[in-house]
Structure 1
Amino acid sequence: MKKILFVCLGNICRSPSAEAVFAAKAQAACYPVIVDSAGTGNWHVGEPPYGPMQQAAQRRGYDLSSLRARQITASDFEGFDLIVAMDEANLRDIERLRPSGSETPVTLMMSYAPETGERAVPDPYYTRDFDEALNLIEAAANGLLASLTN
């Protein structure tokens, strides 16, 4: 069973949404997977996802209410088969934590949805466009699932 970690900056918008979206899509496809999310920063550790993000996700049928923010650690490289970053700054921060000898792949979320032309999921905490973030996350989650099942 694959274990996938989704990572953004604070773990209150993009990565918990990616966790919930991907989990729902994998479940619908009967694909067994363990998912989690984390942030590169520690500002929100222990907090639930950001209210407006939860509301936008809920309108699409994704429940983020049980999730709590945590910070990525070096041990996550051992615990997960794949780490998925929401943008290139997150990817760089993740790579700085990589333990010597670790070969765990770290990819960009939007690499699974090249048809969008986007390289990153913009942070809706700042852009305020929660629906667009979800659009991109859903597209990339579809592509990620397809890459695992083909």
Structure 2
Amino acid sequence: MVKIRLRRAGRKKMPVYQIVAADSRAPRDGKFLEVIGHYQPTAKPHAVNIDKERVEYWLGVGAQPTDTARSLIRTTGLLYELNLKRRGRSEEEIAQEMEQWQQRNAERLQKRLAVKAHRRQAKKDAEAAAAASAESAE
């Protein structure tokens, strides 16, 4: 069985992953059939580059993505696009749906960033309050 999975590269403490199509019996960093993308988890934000045509081909011939590979492919919107094609939508409808998906994805990202900023600020405020109370106690 062919799996779409991550293959680790890079140096110690600085991982870079290749997204590959490989036989499921091969070791993680061993023999593979084709490199179909790259993933850099240390980049801010995470960098995912995928060759959509090759992923579509491998999924079409029955390759099964691992959970992590599936989530990376999902973040690019490719799984949604393939699902729309499988449902028989026209190219114009798919393009319109993908544009809406991109907008929703950007909104989700903005919300997440706003929540992180709010949490960071709340933590700073709590630390400042703790420092002030420690000074007043002395």
TM-score past 0.5 threshold: no
Instruction: Name the larger-Rg structure.
Output: 2
User: What TM-score comes out, normalization by structure 2 length?
Assistant: 0.28
Q: Higher relative CO (CA 8 A, sep ≥ 6), structure 1 or 2?
A: 1
User: What TM-score comes out, normalization by structure 1 length?
Assistant: 0.26
